[in-house]
Chains A and B, each alone.
Chain A
Amino acid sequence: DAGVIQSPRHEVTEMGQEVTLRCKPISGHNSLFWYRQTMMRGLELLIYFNNNVPIDDSGMPEDRFSAKMPNASFSTLKIQPSEPRDSAVYFCASNPLGSYNSPLHFGNGTRLTVT
């Protein structure tokens, strides 16, 4: 079991550029979550997919953020255009039962720095 795989591990970009973060959930898990972690705000839920369908995107900060899950084994989180305040660690997580009642399995995150 390779766990949840995120890429890249680190991303440094300039303000205004497009950023794409990638996630491969654990095989067989039918729910996928994107979180953002900062010192000020802790871990915040951005969006949640169940069976590849977005269920709750109320945490997505604004229209600059978009997420897709074209199939059960891949998801992307895109920021366009990026801003310095988007600097954070972005985590992807998956779980097998499609609900918050079961534990989440997190990837090791993408550390994004926008200058």
Chain B
Amino acid sequence: SQKIEQNSEALNIQEGKTATLTCNYTNYSPAYLQWYRQDPGRGPVFLLLIRENEKEKRKERLKVTFDTTLKQSLFHITASQPADSATYLCALVVNDMRFGAGTRLTVKP
């Protein structure tokens, strides 16, 4: 069956460290993968999109990798700040857009 798994429900790190979130998928061949941020009581907000032929994408302190052999995407936030605390969702684009359950990141000062 098709699955999208984000490595953990919650991740706690210290301010200034790099946060690494994982998105694994099975039985999909996505053409694109997107990452979103969701704050409590709000809708998801788009962060980055990466195509299947791209290995890595960067935007400011954010970096996304996409390994279609491992069927995995990694999402990194460098020099993390308490304001980065939120839930992060990966989304696979095949014929439609399917979301993972999300990882709740907490950055402690």
| A residues at B contact (CB < 8 Å) | 4, 33, 35, 42-43, 45, 48, 56, 91, 93, 100-109
Is A108 a contact of B46 with CB atoms below 8 Å?
no
B25-67 CB contacts (< 8 Å) to partner A: 31-32, 34, 41-46, 49
**In the complex with contacts A4-B43, A43-B99, A108-B43, A103-B49 CB distance below 8 A:** yes
**In the complex with contacts A101-B31, A101-B93, A45-B98 CB distance below 8 A:** yes
**In the complex with contacts A101-B31, A104-B46, A42-B96 CB distance below 8 A:** no
Q: How far is the CA of A80 from the CA of B15 in the complex (A)?
A: 48
**Contact residues on B (Cβ < 8 Å of other chain), bracket:** 10 to 19
**In the complex with contacts A100-B32, A101-B31, A103-B34, A45-B97 CB distance below 8 A:** yes
Is B97 a contact of A108 with CB atoms below 8 Å?
no
Q: How far is the CA of A70 from the CA of B31 in the complex (A)?
A: 31
Is A109 a contact of B43 with CB atoms below 8 Å?
yes
Name the residue of chain B whose CB is nearest to the CB of A9: B41
**Nearest 3 pairs of A and B residues by beta carbon:** A106-B43, A103-B46, A43-B99
Is A48 a contact of B96 with CB atoms below 8 Å?
yes
Interface of A is mostly: strand
Name the residue of chain A whose CB is nearest to the CB of B97: A100
Binary CB contact string for chain B from 67 to 109 against chain A (1 if under 8 A, 0 otherwise): 0000000000000000000000100010011111110000000
Query: Given contacts A42-B101, A48-B96, A106-B45, could you give 4 more A-B pairs where the C-beta distance is less than 8 Å?
Result: A35-B99, A45-B98, A56-B96, A103-B46
Please list 19 pairs of residues, one from A and one from B, whose beta carbons are closer than 8 Å in the complex, sorted by A's number. Answer: A4-B43, A33-B97, A35-B99, A42-B99, A42-B100, A43-B44, A45-B96, A45-B97, A93-B43, A100-B93, A100-B97, A101-B31, A101-B93, A102-B49, A103-B34, A104-B44, A104-B97, A105-B46, A106-B45
Is A108 a contact of B42 with CB atoms below 8 Å?
yes
Q: How far is the CA of A106 from the CA of B45 in the complex (A)?
A: 7
